[in-house]
Structure 1
Protein backbone atom coordinates (compact mmCIF):
# COMPACT_ATOMS: atom_id res chain seq x y z
CA UNK A 1 0.00 0.00 0.00
CA UNK A 2 1.21 3.45 -0.86
CA UNK A 3 1.14 6.49 1.40
CA UNK A 4 0.97 9.90 -0.29
CA UNK A 5 2.79 11.49 2.67
CA UNK A 6 5.93 9.59 1.62
CA UNK A 7 6.03 11.18 -1.81
CA UNK A 8 7.23 14.66 -2.57
CA UNK A 9 7.53 14.29 -6.33
CA UNK A 10 5.98 11.77 -8.72
CA UNK A 11 5.91 11.19 -12.47
CA UNK A 12 2.70 10.14 -14.20
CA UNK A 13 3.00 8.25 -17.50
CA UNK A 14 -0.13 8.46 -19.65
CA UNK A 15 -0.58 6.67 -22.95
CA UNK A 16 -1.87 8.62 -25.90
CA UNK A 17 -4.71 6.14 -26.32
CA UNK A 18 -5.99 7.03 -22.85
CA UNK A 19 -6.83 10.53 -24.06
CA UNK A 20 -9.07 9.28 -26.87
CA UNK A 21 -12.04 8.20 -24.76
CA UNK A 22 -13.52 8.17 -21.26
CA UNK A 23 -13.77 4.37 -21.54
CA UNK A 24 -11.34 1.81 -23.01
CA UNK A 25 -11.83 0.95 -26.66
CA UNK A 26 -11.34 4.00 -28.82
CA UNK A 27 -7.76 4.63 -29.91
CA UNK A 28 -7.83 7.74 -32.07
CA UNK A 29 -8.26 11.44 -31.49
CA UNK A 30 -8.48 13.48 -28.31
CA UNK A 31 -11.53 13.39 -26.06
CA UNK A 32 -12.09 16.65 -24.18
CA UNK A 33 -13.95 14.89 -21.40
CA UNK A 34 -10.98 12.64 -20.78
CA UNK A 35 -8.60 15.59 -20.83
CA UNK A 36 -10.75 17.30 -18.19
CA UNK A 37 -10.88 14.11 -16.11
CA UNK A 38 -7.09 13.69 -16.15
CA UNK A 39 -6.53 17.38 -15.37
CA UNK A 40 -8.91 17.18 -12.40
CA UNK A 41 -7.11 14.07 -11.12
CA UNK A 42 -3.80 15.91 -11.36
CA UNK A 43 -5.18 18.94 -9.53
CA UNK A 44 -6.28 16.78 -6.59
CA UNK A 45 -2.73 15.42 -6.23
CA UNK A 46 -1.10 18.85 -6.64
CA UNK A 47 -3.39 20.15 -3.89
CA UNK A 48 -1.67 17.72 -1.50
CA UNK A 49 1.61 19.57 -2.10
CA UNK A 50 3.08 16.84 -4.30
CA UNK A 51 5.17 17.86 -7.32
CA UNK A 52 3.74 16.32 -10.48
CA UNK A 53 5.46 15.81 -13.81
CA UNK A 54 4.03 13.92 -16.77
CA UNK A 55 5.22 11.98 -19.77
CA UNK A 56 2.58 11.46 -22.44
CA UNK A 57 2.45 9.08 -25.39
CA UNK A 58 1.15 9.75 -28.89
CA UNK A 59 -0.46 6.48 -29.96
CA UNK A 60 -3.89 8.06 -30.40
CA UNK A 61 -2.43 10.16 -33.22
CA UNK A 62 0.53 8.24 -34.59
CA UNK A 63 2.56 5.31 -33.27
CA UNK A 64 6.12 5.10 -34.55
CA UNK A 65 6.53 1.31 -34.46
CA UNK A 66 3.18 0.67 -36.16
CA UNK A 67 3.83 3.30 -38.80
CA UNK A 68 7.16 1.79 -39.62
CA UNK A 69 5.71 -1.71 -40.01
CA UNK A 70 2.46 -0.89 -41.78
CA UNK A 71 3.43 2.03 -44.01
CA UNK A 72 7.01 1.18 -44.85
CA UNK A 73 8.39 4.39 -43.36
CA UNK A 74 11.90 3.95 -42.01
CA UNK A 75 11.91 3.52 -38.26
CA UNK A 76 13.82 6.69 -37.36
CA UNK A 77 11.47 8.88 -39.41
CA UNK A 78 8.41 7.08 -38.08
CA UNK A 79 9.58 7.53 -34.48
CA UNK A 80 10.12 11.24 -35.05
CA UNK A 81 6.54 11.47 -36.34
CA UNK A 82 5.41 9.75 -33.15
CA UNK A 83 7.36 12.28 -31.08
CA UNK A 84 5.45 15.11 -32.77
CA UNK A 85 2.20 13.35 -31.88
CA UNK A 86 3.17 13.44 -28.19
CA UNK A 87 3.66 17.21 -28.45
CA UNK A 88 0.09 17.64 -29.73
CA UNK A 89 -1.20 15.64 -26.76
CA UNK A 90 1.00 17.60 -24.36
CA UNK A 91 -0.40 20.93 -25.57
CA UNK A 92 -3.97 19.65 -25.24
CA UNK A 93 -3.33 18.42 -21.70
CA UNK A 94 -1.54 21.64 -20.76
CA UNK A 95 -4.63 23.60 -21.78
CA UNK A 96 -6.89 21.36 -19.68
CA UNK A 97 -4.56 21.62 -16.66
CA UNK A 98 -4.51 25.42 -16.90
CA UNK A 99 -8.32 25.45 -17.04
CA UNK A 100 -8.19 23.69 -13.66
CA UNK A 101 -6.31 26.69 -12.26
CA UNK A 102 -2.81 25.23 -12.22
CA UNK A 103 0.40 26.51 -13.77
CA UNK A 104 1.82 24.15 -16.38
CA UNK A 105 4.84 24.02 -18.65
CA UNK A 106 5.43 21.83 -21.70
CA UNK A 107 9.07 20.89 -22.19
CA UNK A 108 10.10 19.15 -25.40
CA UNK A 109 13.07 16.89 -26.03
CA UNK A 110 13.28 18.40 -29.53
CA UNK A 111 13.63 22.21 -29.75
CA UNK A 112 10.25 23.82 -30.57
CA UNK A 113 10.63 27.31 -29.15
CA UNK A 114 7.29 28.64 -30.40
CA UNK A 115 5.20 26.08 -28.51
CA UNK A 116 7.25 24.78 -25.59
CA UNK A 117 10.49 25.04 -23.70
CA UNK A 118 13.42 22.88 -24.68
CA UNK A 119 14.03 20.31 -21.96
CA UNK A 120 16.72 21.34 -19.49
CA UNK A 121 16.85 19.25 -16.34
CA UNK A 122 17.53 22.00 -13.82
CA UNK A 123 14.88 24.26 -15.35
CA UNK A 124 12.30 21.48 -15.12
CA UNK A 125 13.14 20.92 -11.46
CA UNK A 126 12.84 24.65 -10.81
CA UNK A 127 9.40 24.73 -12.42
CA UNK A 128 8.20 22.04 -10.01
CA UNK A 129 9.78 23.78 -7.05
CA UNK A 130 7.59 26.75 -7.99
CA UNK A 131 4.49 24.57 -7.96
CA UNK A 132 4.12 24.13 -11.71
CA UNK A 133 3.09 20.91 -13.40
CA UNK A 134 5.62 19.90 -16.07
CA UNK A 135 4.72 17.85 -19.14
CA UNK A 136 7.65 16.20 -20.92
CA UNK A 137 6.91 15.79 -24.64
CA UNK A 138 8.70 14.29 -27.66
CA UNK A 139 9.86 11.24 -25.72
CA UNK A 140 13.62 11.17 -25.21
CA UNK A 141 14.16 13.06 -28.45
CA UNK A 142 15.75 9.95 -29.98
CA UNK A 143 14.27 7.29 -32.27
CA UNK A 144 14.11 3.65 -31.14
CA UNK A 145 13.16 4.64 -27.57
CA UNK A 146 9.59 4.45 -26.31
CA UNK A 147 7.76 6.97 -24.16
CA UNK A 148 7.91 4.36 -21.38
CA UNK A 149 11.68 4.69 -21.48
CA UNK A 150 11.30 8.47 -21.55
CA UNK A 151 9.10 8.23 -18.44
CA UNK A 152 11.67 6.14 -16.58
CA UNK A 153 14.49 8.47 -17.63
CA UNK A 154 12.68 11.68 -16.66
CA UNK A 155 11.50 10.22 -13.35
CA UNK A 156 15.10 9.46 -12.44
CA UNK A 157 16.39 12.83 -13.66
CA UNK A 158 13.72 14.67 -11.65
CA UNK A 159 14.48 12.71 -8.50
CA UNK A 160 10.94 11.35 -8.32
CA UNK A 161 9.93 9.10 -5.46
CA UNK A 162 7.47 7.11 -7.57
CA UNK A 163 6.68 6.41 -11.22
CA UNK A 164 3.01 5.81 -11.95
CA UNK A 165 1.84 4.24 -15.20
CA UNK A 166 -1.82 4.84 -16.05
CA UNK A 167 -3.18 2.01 -18.18
CA UNK A 168 -6.44 0.46 -19.38
CA UNK A 169 -6.57 -2.03 -16.49
CA UNK A 170 -6.24 -1.69 -12.73
CA UNK A 171 -2.81 -3.22 -12.36
CA UNK A 172 -0.71 -6.11 -13.59
CA UNK A 173 -2.28 -9.52 -14.28
CA UNK A 174 -0.71 -12.86 -15.21
CA UNK A 175 -2.72 -12.71 -18.47
CA UNK A 176 -5.17 -10.39 -20.18
CA UNK A 177 -8.17 -9.98 -17.82
CA UNK A 178 -10.37 -8.82 -20.69
CA UNK A 179 -9.92 -12.19 -22.40
CA UNK A 180 -9.40 -14.53 -19.43
CA UNK A 181 -11.88 -14.21 -16.50
CA UNK A 182 -9.54 -16.27 -14.30
CA UNK A 183 -6.63 -13.84 -14.73
CA UNK A 184 -4.78 -13.25 -11.45
CA UNK A 185 -4.13 -9.69 -10.26
CA UNK A 186 -0.78 -8.95 -8.61
CA UNK A 187 -0.81 -6.52 -5.68
CA UNK A 188 2.98 -6.50 -5.61
CA UNK A 189 5.67 -7.65 -8.01
CA UNK A 190 9.43 -7.50 -8.27
CA UNK A 191 11.08 -6.11 -11.37
CA UNK A 192 12.74 -9.46 -11.89
CA UNK A 193 9.38 -11.25 -12.01
CA UNK A 194 8.02 -8.56 -14.31
CA UNK A 195 10.79 -9.31 -16.80
CA UNK A 196 11.00 -13.09 -16.37
CA UNK A 197 7.24 -13.59 -16.77
CA UNK A 198 7.23 -11.24 -19.77
CA UNK A 199 4.38 -9.19 -18.34
CA UNK A 200 4.04 -6.42 -20.89
CA UNK A 201 3.67 -3.43 -18.59
CA UNK A 202 6.65 -1.39 -19.80
CA UNK A 203 9.35 -2.16 -22.32
CA UNK A 204 12.47 -3.89 -21.06
CA UNK A 205 14.67 -0.79 -21.39
CA UNK A 206 12.35 1.21 -19.12
CA UNK A 207 12.12 -1.62 -16.58
CA UNK A 208 15.91 -2.01 -16.54
CA UNK A 209 16.32 1.70 -15.77
CA UNK A 210 13.93 1.78 -12.83
CA UNK A 211 15.19 -1.56 -11.55
CA UNK A 212 18.81 -0.41 -11.53
CA UNK A 213 17.88 2.66 -9.46
CA UNK A 214 15.21 0.91 -7.37
CA UNK A 215 12.49 3.39 -8.32
CA UNK A 216 9.03 2.06 -7.34
CA UNK A 217 6.47 1.69 -10.13
CA UNK A 218 2.71 1.77 -9.59
CA UNK A 219 0.40 0.49 -12.34
CA UNK A 220 -3.26 1.49 -12.24
CA UNK A 221 -6.33 2.27 -14.36
CA UNK A 222 -6.64 5.80 -15.72
CA UNK A 223 -10.38 5.28 -16.20
CA UNK A 224 -11.32 4.99 -12.53
CA UNK A 225 -12.62 8.14 -10.86
CA UNK A 226 -9.83 10.10 -9.15
CA UNK A 227 -7.56 7.08 -9.57
CA UNK A 228 -4.30 9.06 -9.45
CA UNK A 229 -4.98 10.35 -5.94
CA UNK A 230 -6.51 7.09 -4.71
CA UNK A 231 -3.46 5.10 -5.74
CA UNK A 232 -1.21 7.45 -3.76
CA UNK A 233 -3.55 7.07 -0.78
CA UNK A 234 -3.57 3.30 -1.19
CA UNK A 235 -7.33 3.10 -1.66
CA UNK A 236 -7.45 2.18 -5.37
CA UNK A 237 -6.64 -1.21 -6.85
CA UNK A 238 -3.19 -1.19 -8.39
CA UNK A 239 0.07 -3.11 -8.63
CA UNK A 240 3.23 -1.89 -6.93
CA UNK A 241 6.47 -3.04 -8.56
CA UNK A 242 9.68 -2.80 -6.52
CA UNK A 243 12.86 -4.80 -6.03
Structure 2
Protein backbone atom coordinates (compact mmCIF):
# COMPACT_ATOMS: atom_id res chain seq x y z
CA UNK A 1 0.00 0.00 0.00
CA UNK A 2 1.33 3.41 -0.92
CA UNK A 3 0.65 6.16 1.56
CA UNK A 4 1.56 9.77 2.21
CA UNK A 5 0.92 11.20 5.64
CA UNK A 6 3.86 13.52 6.19
CA UNK A 7 2.99 15.91 9.00
CA UNK A 8 -0.42 14.30 9.50
CA UNK A 9 -1.44 14.62 13.16
CA UNK A 10 -5.08 13.50 13.12
CA UNK A 11 -7.84 12.22 10.87
CA UNK A 12 -11.49 13.15 11.15
CA UNK A 13 -14.49 11.25 9.81
CA UNK A 14 -17.85 12.99 9.87
CA UNK A 15 -21.10 11.11 9.40
CA UNK A 16 -24.38 9.99 10.88
CA UNK A 17 -24.50 8.47 14.35
CA UNK A 18 -25.09 5.02 12.83
CA UNK A 19 -22.21 5.28 10.33
CA UNK A 20 -19.77 6.57 12.94
CA UNK A 21 -20.62 3.74 15.34
CA UNK A 22 -20.07 1.24 12.54
CA UNK A 23 -16.73 2.90 11.80
CA UNK A 24 -15.76 2.60 15.47
CA UNK A 25 -16.45 -1.12 15.15
CA UNK A 26 -14.05 -1.20 12.20
CA UNK A 27 -16.48 -1.18 9.27
CA UNK A 28 -15.20 1.18 6.59
CA UNK A 29 -17.94 1.74 4.01
CA UNK A 30 -15.95 2.59 0.90
CA UNK A 31 -18.13 4.20 -1.75
CA UNK A 32 -17.53 3.78 -5.49
CA UNK A 33 -16.03 6.96 -6.89
CA UNK A 34 -18.72 7.40 -9.54
CA UNK A 35 -21.25 8.09 -6.78
CA UNK A 36 -19.73 11.51 -6.21
CA UNK A 37 -19.80 12.47 -9.89
CA UNK A 38 -23.42 11.41 -10.37
CA UNK A 39 -25.10 12.34 -7.10
CA UNK A 40 -27.89 14.89 -6.90
CA UNK A 41 -27.18 18.52 -7.68
CA UNK A 42 -28.40 19.45 -4.19
CA UNK A 43 -25.90 17.10 -2.54
CA UNK A 44 -22.89 19.06 -1.24
CA UNK A 45 -20.69 16.04 -2.00
CA UNK A 46 -21.34 16.38 -5.75
CA UNK A 47 -18.22 16.69 -7.90
CA UNK A 48 -18.68 16.18 -11.65
CA UNK A 49 -14.91 16.23 -12.12
CA UNK A 50 -13.94 13.25 -9.93
CA UNK A 51 -12.87 11.39 -13.07
CA UNK A 52 -10.77 14.21 -14.51
CA UNK A 53 -7.96 13.03 -16.80
CA UNK A 54 -7.10 16.19 -18.66
CA UNK A 55 -8.09 19.82 -18.49
CA UNK A 56 -7.01 22.30 -21.13
CA UNK A 57 -8.14 25.38 -19.29
CA UNK A 58 -11.00 27.57 -20.34
CA UNK A 59 -11.53 29.72 -23.37
CA UNK A 60 -13.13 32.99 -22.37
CA UNK A 61 -15.46 34.75 -24.80
CA UNK A 62 -17.89 37.64 -24.68
CA UNK A 63 -21.64 37.05 -24.87
CA UNK A 64 -24.11 39.34 -26.64
CA UNK A 65 -27.87 39.15 -27.13
CA UNK A 66 -29.25 41.37 -29.89
CA UNK A 67 -25.98 43.29 -29.71
CA UNK A 68 -26.48 43.83 -25.97
CA UNK A 69 -23.39 42.83 -24.01
CA UNK A 70 -24.20 40.17 -21.38
CA UNK A 71 -20.82 39.26 -19.99
CA UNK A 72 -17.87 36.85 -20.09
CA UNK A 73 -18.44 33.10 -20.49
CA UNK A 74 -16.06 30.18 -20.05
CA UNK A 75 -15.80 27.15 -22.28
CA UNK A 76 -13.90 24.65 -20.16
CA UNK A 77 -12.35 21.84 -22.18
CA UNK A 78 -11.67 18.65 -20.26
CA UNK A 79 -11.74 14.88 -20.60
CA UNK A 80 -13.00 12.47 -17.97
CA UNK A 81 -12.68 8.69 -17.65
CA UNK A 82 -15.88 7.41 -16.07
CA UNK A 83 -15.03 3.76 -16.81
CA UNK A 84 -12.42 3.67 -14.05
CA UNK A 85 -14.66 5.27 -11.43
CA UNK A 86 -16.58 2.16 -10.36
CA UNK A 87 -13.38 0.18 -9.74
CA UNK A 88 -12.11 2.70 -7.18
CA UNK A 89 -13.71 2.54 -3.73
CA UNK A 90 -12.89 5.43 -1.42
CA UNK A 91 -13.15 6.43 2.22
CA UNK A 92 -12.88 10.17 2.71
CA UNK A 93 -11.64 11.88 5.85
CA UNK A 94 -10.35 15.31 6.83
CA UNK A 95 -6.68 15.70 7.68
CA UNK A 96 -5.14 17.85 10.39
CA UNK A 97 -1.47 18.65 9.84
CA UNK A 98 1.22 20.13 12.03
CA UNK A 99 1.86 23.82 11.41
CA UNK A 100 5.58 23.37 10.76
CA UNK A 101 4.85 21.17 7.78
CA UNK A 102 2.32 23.55 6.29
CA UNK A 103 4.21 26.80 6.42
CA UNK A 104 7.54 28.13 7.58
CA UNK A 105 6.10 31.58 8.15
CA UNK A 106 4.92 32.77 11.54
CA UNK A 107 1.17 32.28 11.87
CA UNK A 108 -1.21 34.27 14.02
CA UNK A 109 -3.83 32.67 16.22
CA UNK A 110 -6.46 33.70 13.67
CA UNK A 111 -4.48 32.03 10.87
CA UNK A 112 -4.30 28.80 12.86
CA UNK A 113 -8.02 28.86 13.64
CA UNK A 114 -8.87 29.38 9.95
CA UNK A 115 -6.65 26.45 8.98
CA UNK A 116 -7.92 23.97 11.56
CA UNK A 117 -11.52 24.83 12.30
CA UNK A 118 -13.86 22.82 10.11
CA UNK A 119 -16.16 24.74 7.78
CA UNK A 120 -19.94 24.57 8.07
CA UNK A 121 -19.99 22.66 4.77
CA UNK A 122 -17.82 19.92 6.30
CA UNK A 123 -19.75 19.81 9.55
CA UNK A 124 -22.98 19.33 7.59
CA UNK A 125 -21.75 15.90 6.46
CA UNK A 126 -23.23 14.42 9.64
CA UNK A 127 -24.01 14.93 13.31
CA UNK A 128 -20.97 13.08 14.67
CA UNK A 129 -17.23 13.52 14.19
CA UNK A 130 -14.76 10.71 14.86
CA UNK A 131 -11.19 11.89 15.53
CA UNK A 132 -8.20 9.57 15.27
CA UNK A 133 -4.96 10.88 16.77
CA UNK A 134 -2.89 7.70 16.51
CA UNK A 135 -2.64 7.76 12.70
CA UNK A 136 0.26 5.27 12.65
CA UNK A 137 -1.83 2.62 14.39
CA UNK A 138 -4.84 3.40 12.20
CA UNK A 139 -2.84 2.94 9.01
CA UNK A 140 -1.35 -0.28 10.34
CA UNK A 141 -4.83 -1.72 10.85
CA UNK A 142 -5.95 -0.45 7.45
CA UNK A 143 -2.90 -2.00 5.78
CA UNK A 144 -3.39 -5.35 7.52
CA UNK A 145 -7.03 -5.44 6.39
CA UNK A 146 -6.10 -4.65 2.79
CA UNK A 147 -3.62 -7.54 2.79
CA UNK A 148 -6.53 -9.92 3.33
CA UNK A 149 -8.13 -8.76 0.06
CA UNK A 150 -6.98 -9.26 -3.54
CA UNK A 151 -6.85 -5.49 -4.01
CA UNK A 152 -4.25 -2.76 -3.63
CA UNK A 153 -4.71 0.51 -1.79
CA UNK A 154 -3.47 4.07 -1.71
CA UNK A 155 -3.76 6.77 0.94
CA UNK A 156 -2.92 10.43 0.71
CA UNK A 157 -4.15 14.02 0.71
CA UNK A 158 -6.23 15.25 -2.19
CA UNK A 159 -4.50 17.69 -4.53
CA UNK A 160 -6.69 20.67 -5.34
CA UNK A 161 -6.23 22.28 -8.74
CA UNK A 162 -7.66 25.13 -10.76
CA UNK A 163 -9.54 23.44 -13.60
CA UNK A 164 -9.32 26.66 -15.60
CA UNK A 165 -5.65 25.85 -16.08
CA UNK A 166 -4.07 23.07 -18.10
CA UNK A 167 -3.80 19.79 -16.20
CA UNK A 168 -2.97 16.18 -17.15
CA UNK A 169 -3.48 13.26 -14.80
CA UNK A 170 -1.67 9.90 -14.67
CA UNK A 171 -2.19 6.56 -12.95
CA UNK A 172 -0.53 7.86 -9.78
CA UNK A 173 -2.79 10.89 -9.45
CA UNK A 174 -6.09 9.60 -10.88
CA UNK A 175 -8.76 9.74 -8.21
CA UNK A 176 -6.60 11.97 -6.00
CA UNK A 177 -7.31 15.34 -7.66
CA UNK A 178 -10.24 17.69 -7.16
CA UNK A 179 -11.39 21.15 -8.16
CA UNK A 180 -9.97 23.85 -5.88
CA UNK A 181 -13.58 24.81 -5.09
CA UNK A 182 -13.54 21.86 -2.66
CA UNK A 183 -10.32 22.87 -0.92
CA UNK A 184 -12.24 23.66 2.27
CA UNK A 185 -12.74 19.89 2.74
CA UNK A 186 -8.98 19.28 3.34
CA UNK A 187 -9.70 15.73 2.25
CA UNK A 188 -7.45 12.82 3.06
CA UNK A 189 -8.52 9.89 0.91
CA UNK A 190 -8.08 6.15 1.36
CA UNK A 191 -8.63 4.35 -1.94
CA UNK A 192 -9.09 0.70 -2.74
CA UNK A 193 -8.43 -0.33 -6.34
CA UNK A 194 -10.67 -3.25 -7.28
CA UNK A 195 -11.75 -5.05 -10.43
CA UNK A 196 -15.45 -4.43 -9.74
CA UNK A 197 -17.10 -2.43 -12.53
CA UNK A 198 -20.47 -2.31 -10.78
CA UNK A 199 -21.77 0.81 -9.08
CA UNK A 200 -21.47 -0.64 -5.61
CA UNK A 201 -19.40 0.04 -2.54
CA UNK A 202 -17.13 -2.18 -0.50
CA UNK A 203 -16.95 -2.79 3.25
CA UNK A 204 -13.40 -3.12 4.58
CA UNK A 205 -13.24 -4.47 8.14
CA UNK A 206 -10.17 -3.15 9.97
CA UNK A 207 -11.30 -4.19 13.45
CA UNK A 208 -12.45 -1.96 16.28
CA UNK A 209 -10.81 1.46 16.54
CA UNK A 210 -12.57 2.50 19.74
CA UNK A 211 -9.23 2.44 21.56
CA UNK A 212 -7.68 5.07 19.26
CA UNK A 213 -10.70 7.25 18.45
CA UNK A 214 -12.78 9.95 20.10
CA UNK A 215 -16.30 11.01 19.05
CA UNK A 216 -17.86 14.44 19.48
CA UNK A 217 -20.96 16.21 18.16
CA UNK A 218 -20.22 18.19 15.01
CA UNK A 219 -22.21 21.18 16.24
CA UNK A 220 -19.66 21.52 19.04
CA UNK A 221 -16.57 20.30 17.18
CA UNK A 222 -14.72 23.60 16.72
CA UNK A 223 -15.19 24.46 20.38
CA UNK A 224 -12.88 21.57 21.32
CA UNK A 225 -9.90 23.29 19.70
CA UNK A 226 -7.67 25.25 22.09
CA UNK A 227 -4.71 27.30 20.88
CA UNK A 228 -2.16 28.48 23.44
TM-score, normalised to structure 2, is 0.26
Choose between structure 1 and 2 for higher RCO, CA contacts under 8 A separated by at least 6 residues.
Answer: 2
Q: Give 1 or 2: higher strand fraction.
A: 2
Q: Give 1 or 2: higher helix fraction.
A: 1
